[in-house]
Structure 1
Amino acid sequence: MDANSPLLFFDSGVGGLSVLEPTRALLPNAPIVYVADNAGYPYGKRSEAEIASRVPALLGRLVERFRPRLAVIACNTASTIALDHVRSALDLPVVGTVPAIKPAAELSKTRVIGVLGTEATVRQPYVDNLAAEFASDCAIIRHGSPELVDLAEAKLAGEDVAVEAVRAAVLPMFDAPGGDRIDVGVLACTHFPLLRQELGQAFPGIQWIDGGPGIARRIAWLTREQPWPMRSSDGLMIFTAEPRSPMLGALAHYGVGEVRTL
């Protein structure tokens, strides 16, 4: 294993930064290539067939180009639809993003859990399977919010995001039958932890959890015996279309020092 072989992160936009950040904390010297498929954004509004075709094809090109030691699909929508396709197509470990329903069930006192994701994610049978396996004694209330994805992208681009806009995007989940008893909310889209502060202000008393820290631990475990460079380096971020210019300055917080367009 070449010590300079990178970790490859993949998302439709900047949401996967919420997975990159805890990974950086555990593996500070890991070389990073982060790919934002903003030409295909937003995945949540695309059909399952489109995602199942697009994601493996794009990742195949990226793996051939960058020779990563491991790929991370840091996108719930892409993971729930295309993870098996990607794993069968690539000859390297692939880590997906799983809605944090299991830890939510361990935390919930009311046994009513909200699952907040994209429209594509919340309708997947994969979510049903997770709920049946890990939260069979809980009521699961789902809400797909494309507006929240856009708000997260806007926030990273330096735009002001009003708490009331976040509240309006999420409120239907709490207005659903039984929604007033939700005490734990699963952020089943990697974009949504970027709005954790606004969500906390909009819905005080709700515990919001996401899978980012767990995914980071999984990456660290899979690479535990592999060599790393002696010192850290700036990560490379690749967009599949021209990014918003104001966004580039915000990427330094995540250790990104170089940006390219594919």
Structure 2
Amino acid sequence: MTQQMLDAQGRVLVFDSGMGGLTVAREIRQIAPALQVDYAADTGFFPYGDKSDEALRARLPEVAAALVREARPDVFVIACNTASTLALDDVRARLDIPVVGTVPAIKPAASLTRTGVIGLLATPGTIRRAYTARLIEEFAGDVTVILHGSVDLVRLAEAFAADEAYDARGFAAALAPIFDARDGDTVDTIVLACTHFPLVRAQLAAAAPVGVTFIDSGAAIARQTLRVLGNTALAERAEKAGGRLFITDEGSDHARLVKVCARFGFERVGPPVLLTAER
């Protein structure tokens, strides 16, 4: 970590459908504590897992634009594999500020493996995306990649983060399809390709065979955010403090989300940011 990173200035808005992107926000704050970081959750369309690709493509550029108008960031970070693999280019075309996306850490995992067999643990949507297949083809063509999509692990991670009751056996159950697959007994590296999953990295590691390394893209996203900020003219603004939480619907207190966000330092909940069609 360089002094330049530590002293970096500007405002960043980290975006996800729910609380998973908090793991990326944490990485950004760790390497650049002087940044003003805000967080946005698309509560008005959560969860993304049960929405069609067409609906998400239509929604994401518009909700991004509405959030940027309200939060006035210098950089918009899509801390969601589903949104990035589906609509990153569309969001970039809609906004007039830099956009940083989330890419599954397939390339570093392929470089790190010693056995030549890696796992990719994601949501079912990320697993089925052509974008993910292209990443594997481009960066992991010489290794075996075992893919598994888990919705249950997302729910488990959220319950854990909120200090709610959960079944600890679920961590081993989420990993079992990888280790039980052909060549699964030689997996030595697993990509956490959902931003929820680093919330329970320690629990997954404890449930995995000794020697398995878990890798995610959070630190890489943070470094890219800093690189982009270095080339960006920062907006003038009266308010300097970060730590705001933006939501995209009204009529619900979202107690679980607000509780977990507060633990990550996002304690000021602003008024709902609604799309024009919703007003």
Report the TM-score when normalising by structure 2.
Answer: 0.85
- Describe the SS at the equivalent of 2:182: coil
Out of 178, 182, 196, the position equivalent to 1:177 is 182
Q: Mind listing any 5+ residue stretches in structure 2 that lack a counterpart?
A: 1-7, 273-279
The worse-fitting range, judged by mean Cα deviation, of 136-145 and 27-36 is 27-36
Counterpart in 1 of 2:112?
A: 107
Report the TM-score when normalising by structure 1.
Answer: 0.91
**CA–CA distance in 2 between the matches of 1:156 and 1:38?**
17
- Describe the SS at the equivalent of 2:145: strand
Counterpart in 2 of 1:156?
A: 161
**Mapping of 1:23-38 within 5 angstroms?**
23-38=28-43
Out of 209, 223, 227, the position equivalent to 2:229 is 223
Counterpart in 1 of 2:247?
A: 239
- Describe the SS at the equivalent of 1:114: strand
Identity of aligned residues (%): 44
Superposed CA offset, 1:28-54 (max 9, x none): 122222111133222123221121111
Equivalent pair of 1:16/1:190 in contact (CA under 8 Å): yes
**CA–CA distance in 2 between the matches of 1:12 and 1:246?**
14
Number of positions where the alignment pairs a residue of Structure 1 with one of Structure 2: 258
By how many angstroms is 1:118 displaced? Answer: 0.8
- Describe the SS at the equivalent of 1:256: coil
Equivalent pair of 1:38/1:243 in contact (CA under 8 Å): no
Q: Mind listing any 5+ residue stretches in structure 1 that lack a counterpart?
A: none
Structure 1 letter corresponding to 2:49: G
Structure 2 letter corresponding to 1:219: T
Equivalent pair of 1:152/1:194 in contact (CA under 8 Å): yes
Distance 1:248 1:208, change over 3 A: same
The worse-fitting range, judged by mean Cα deviation, of 161-170 and 102-111 is 161-170
**Mapping of 1:59-78 within 5 angstroms?**
59-78=64-83
**CA–CA distance in 1 between the matches of 2:14 and 2:225?**
11
**CA–CA distance in 2 between the matches of 1:204 and 1:33?**
37
Distance 1:123 1:69, change over 3 A: same
**CA–CA distance in 1 between the matches of 2:200 and 2:224?**
24
**CA–CA distance in 2 between the matches of 1:59 and 1:102?**
28
**CA–CA distance in 2 between the matches of 1:104 and 1:147?**
24
